[in-house]
């Protein structure tokens, strides 16, 4: 893992105001195959990507994950 630096990110609030916030950035090198690299690049360009460090005692299982509908069902009720 590389060092952490700070970058600026400007967003527009619901009220239309532009707000600039400081966002930490860290370089993380991962060893993945071509297919997984493409998935990571797509995710990084289209959203947020999170990583976790595992130890020999970590217990993880392969799960299907969640969708935006499961996280914010009220936002998608009208779309159904």
More confident residue, 25 or 8: 8
Task: Render pLDDT for 12-68 as a digit per residue (tens, 0 to 9).
Answer: 989 999 999 888 878 888 899 998 999 888 888 888 788 888 899 999 888 888 887
Domain ranges, residue 11: 4-76
**Number of domains composing the chain:** 1
In Å, how far are 22, 29, 36, 53, 55 from 43, measured between CA atoms? 21, 15, 10, 19, 25
Question: How many Cβ atoms are within 10 Å of 33's Cβ, its own excluded?
Answer: 7
């Amino acid at each position: 893992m590389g060092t952490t630096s700070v970058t600026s990110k400007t967003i527009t609030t619901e009220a239309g105001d532009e707000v600039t916030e400081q966002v930490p950035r860290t370089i993380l090198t991962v060893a993945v195959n071509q297919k997984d690299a493409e998935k990571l690049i797509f995710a990084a360009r289209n959203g947020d990507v999170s990583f976790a460090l595992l130890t020999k005692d970590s217990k993880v299982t392969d799960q299907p994950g969640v969708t935006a509908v499961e996280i914010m069902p009220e936002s998608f009720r009208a779309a159904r």
